[in-house]
Amino acid sequence: MSELESASLPNAPHASAPDGGVTETTLRGEVEKVLFQSEDGAFSVLNLKDAQGNLHCVCGPITGAYAGQGIEVTGKWEFHREHGRRLKAASWSFTLPTTPEGIEKYLASGVIRGIGAKYAKEIVRTFGARTLEVLDNASVRLREVPGLGRKRIAAIKKSWSENAEKRNLQISLQSLGVTPAYFNRIYSNYGNECAEIIRKDPYRLASDIDGIGFLMADRIAEKAGIGKSDVKRLKSGVTYALSQIRLAGHVCMPRTEFLQMLARLLEVDEPAAELALSSALADDLAAVRRSHAGVEMVYEPGLLRCEEELPKLVANLAARERHFGNVILGFRTPPDSMFSGEQLRAVEAAGASAFSIITGGPGVGKTTVVSEIVRRAKAAKLRIVLAAPTGRAAKRLSETTGISASTIHRLLKWEPSERRFVHGRANPLPYELYVLDEVSMLDLPLSVAFFRAVRPGACVILVGDADQLPSVGPGNVLNDLIASGLIPVSRLTRIFRQGAGSGIIRAAHNVNAGRMPDDGLACPKNALADFYWIEKEDPAEAEDVIERMILDRIPARFGFDPKTDIQLITPMNRGACGTIAMNGRLQNLLNGESRLAFSVSNRTFRIGDRVMQITNNYDKGVFNGDMGRILAIRHSDSEFIVRYDTGDVTYAFDDAEQLTLAYAVTIHKSQGSEFPVVVMPILPQHYMMLQRNLLYTGMTRAKKLMVLVGSRKAVSMAVRNAVREPRHSLLRERLADAFRGRGAVP
């Protein structure tokens, strides 16, 4: 019997309703455990323990509950055919806990600075159910608690006293669905006025508080009695819709399509959506521009400014005939070198133009070309800088060229106090030659930030594989620049000896050419190869194979460490073989013995866990897609440390929502990274995501060993699907206009 099923059974005589569930019942007690919570927070199932110790299953739209939380729920009993008898909540309110177990969990949650899990246990062991009464009225008795020194006692007394009003506010706002973690952020931003501000306009939370988006603000607004057609909701909904466009990689969207999406998101009719857009346009929350074809496109104002600015920056750079790159043309490659003709032409093209692009697949010698450009530039005593969008890509660039490389963000230097990059138009970078690698990941905002900081006369060379997935962020900059026909492009196509012998590289080129990955691949019996395809159709069987590969087969046969060398990448987050399910399984299998851990929002992180940053945090200098390991957990300070390639970063426990476990990551999130070993499932259930560039990108993440697990039907579907998802943008039009304005376009 499942935990949910067993928790649903009636276990107290007074729990049954004599009228068959018509009369409302009120239960008071504590949350013993949150059994289930939907991703959007709209539905929860929890165990409530009453004062007699009886467990009751409660379900409903209860947000913000956590184990140990005091709660009062009113509702009607129902019988669920799968889960048995449970109370369906109609209303609820939160209270301070009353049992020793609940009080201990409450104090250990970090609500009082200076009390972590250790001291919470000692305090409750000393005072039991009277702990909160002691803290309220007799805090001098804290001297009775073993291990509490004078300084810590003074800090606890001060914190408890100062936070009396804050605790009442927290309980009040929890009834609106505000979790303790988010309450701390709200309180630090609004202070004691937070309840009044939220009741007047909950949608301010979406713009003012990190981590709170429109959906959470909308749930709070609904509980506060704000209707679907309220103008505050409509305008905030436009901002939310624009953020969804951005998340999908678009820079803009046709007006008609946008209004349909907005109406669907807000659950209103199209006239209301039109009213919402008009209100947002009047307040400069959105912008509209017309394409050359006469189509009206809706923009987030910041992205519109970026799209208008980048073509001008690029055109100004490319228009210069004399630039620092010219000097590398005066140096020659040694006659005994092994460069091909197309590689040497790429080197010459890079020196001939102030702005150029080098593109090609794996094994074609992009790194060799970059190394020769760098050699000549060093001989010419140019000030050179190498950079990439991610820390892993920058580290790999350093290793292959022998020159220190930086992330683009670190190169530009973020100034937290001013919320901007140090380097820009007014303070350009001092370098004379730039090589940016892995630029398929370069999105529109970061492109603009970089080109703003390039001094006049400098030479910029972009290097990347145009056949990979586009950037996670908005835009399709590399492909738009190439497709414009306005920038010199060197295409490398010849696979060299070290690549020709690699099954990974040959399989990837097969896929990119529209052939099955194993076409023409052969490996002598019992010989070790670097590309394997294990055909599995059933997702459950594929999961089992993946676990065996990571835990046993690959380490035993190839000697790779499953904790550091092997990365699972998958097309989707959800479903069997998705990142959510596989991260839970692999965390327990690879790091289950780790005792030191903390939990946030029903997720547990352990020391040693592999994690990924999933939002840009400019203040901490970590960005979407950066991967690291949890190095330390400090319960006394409610913080933990993650070690990245670029250094160690300290987080508060509340900031853990910025991270996800990274034993398994999506193929999109793996961009710019290279791993010694990659295991990748491709199954029919992934049909929505199966595209040629997705499969190709995943395969090219493997450096030494690639194991494909999946069905021939699904792989064939991906190989045949060469149609790329369109990204709405007018960048190509604006590039043509900008170059025409500079006299570069007839």
What's the Rg (C-alpha) of the chain?
A: 29
Answer for the pair 391, 644: CB distance below 8 angstroms, yes or no. yes
Q: What is the mean pLDDT of residues 132-140?
A: 87
Torsion of CA 189, 195, 197, 199, to 10 degrees: 140
Helix, strand and coil content of the chain, in percent to the nearest 5, comes to 45, 20, 35
Structure tokens at 666: 């999506």
Residue 652 has pLDDT above 70, yes or no: yes
Distance between CA atoms of residues 378 and 335, nearest Å: 19
Complete DSSP assignment for 57-97: EEEES--S--TT-EEEEEEEEEEETTTEEEEEEEEEEEE--
Roughly what angle, to the nearest 10 degrees, separates helices 366-379 and 391-401? 70
User: CA 478, CA 463: separation in Å to the nearest integer?
Assistant: 9
More confident residue, 168 or 383: 383
pLDDT on residue 285: 93
Neighbouring C-alpha atoms within 13 Å toward the C-beta of 638: 17
Predicted confidence at residue 498, as pLDDT, reads: 53
For residue 542 the two structure tokens come to: 């594929």
pLDDT at residue number 499 = 52
| 113 has pLDDT over 80 | no
What does the pLDDT read at residue 744? 46
Residue 746 has a pLDDT of 32
- pLDDT the model gives residue 8: 34
Average pLDDT score, the chain: 87
Task: Say which residues have a Cβ less than 8 Å from residue 46's Cβ, sequence separation at least 6.
Answer: 31, 32, 33, 34, 35, 57, 58, 59, 62, 65
Alpha-carbon span 377 to 125, nearest angstrom: 69
Tell me the mean pLDDT in the region 314-332.
92
Interatomic CA distance for residues 401 and 386, integer angstroms: 9
Kindly report which listed range (16-30, 99-113, 529-543) carries the lowest average pLDDT score: 16-30
Average of per-residue pLDDT across 97-122 = 78
Q: Side by side, which strands form the sheet with 627-634? A: 647-652, 639-644, 627-634, 610-613, 659-661
List the beta bridge partners of residue 680: 708
Hunting for tokens 């060469």 — which residue is that? 722
Residue 76 CA to residue 22 CA, distance in Å, equals 7
Give the amino acid at 541: E
And the tokens for 297? 């496109």
In 3D space, the residue among 84, 86, 26 whose CA is nearest the CA of residue 56 turns out to be 86
**Separation CA 736–CA 744 (nearest Å):** 9
Nearest by Cα to 664 from 553, 593, 576: 576
Q: In sequence order, what are the beta bridge partners of 672?
A: none
pLDDT at 40 (0 to 100): 59
Nearest-angstrom CA–CA distance, 609 and 600: 15
Question: Which residues pair with residue 642 across a beta bridge?
Answer: 630, 649
49-63, 90-104, 504-518, 732-746: range with highest mean pLDDT: 504-518
Is the separation of the CB atoms in 501 and 350 below 8 Å? Answer: no
DSSP tag of 457: T
pLDDT in tens, 34-81: 888 776 566 889 999 888 889 999 998 887 677 777 888 999 999 887
Q: What is the pLDDT of residues 187-206, one digit of tens each?
A: 888 887 888 888 888 898 88
Longest CA pairwise span in the chain (Å): 96
With a cut of 70, say whether residue 141 has pLDDT above it. Answer: yes
Q: Does 641 have pLDDT greater than 50? A: yes
Residue 646 DSSP symbol: T
For residue 9, give the DSSP letter. Answer: S
Residues 6+ apart with CB under 8 A from 509: 361, 362, 363, 495
**515 vs 209, higher pLDDT:** 515
pTM of the model: 0.79
pLDDT in tens, 249-276: 999 999 999 999 999 999 999 999 999 9
pLDDT tens-digit series, residues 217-247: 888 888 788 888 899 999 999 999 999 999 9
pLDDT digits (tens, 9 = 90+) for 353-401: 999 999 999 888 898 999 999 999 999 999 999 999 988 888 888 888 8
Residue 519: pLDDT band (50, 70, 90) is: confident
Tell me the CA distances in angstroms from 509 to 493, 504, 696, 699, 700, one per residue in order.
Answer: 10, 9, 8, 10, 10
Provide the pairing of β-strand 384-388 with 414-415.
Answer: unpaired
pLDDT at 427 over 90: yes
Q: How confident is the model at residue 343 (pLDDT cuts 50, 70, 90)?
A: very high
pLDDT confidence of residue 548:
95
CA distances in angstroms from 295 to 254, 256, 518, 729, listed in the order given: 7, 9, 44, 12
> Strand 414-415 to strand 405-407: parallel, antiparallel, or no bridges (unpaired)?
unpaired
Residue 386, beta-bridge partner list: 405, 435
Reported confidence tier of residue 32, pLDDT bands at 50, 70, 90: confident
The letter for the amino acid at 557 is: R
Distance CA 580, CA 603 (A): 11
- Is residue 580 within 8 A of residue 634, CB to CB? The reply is no
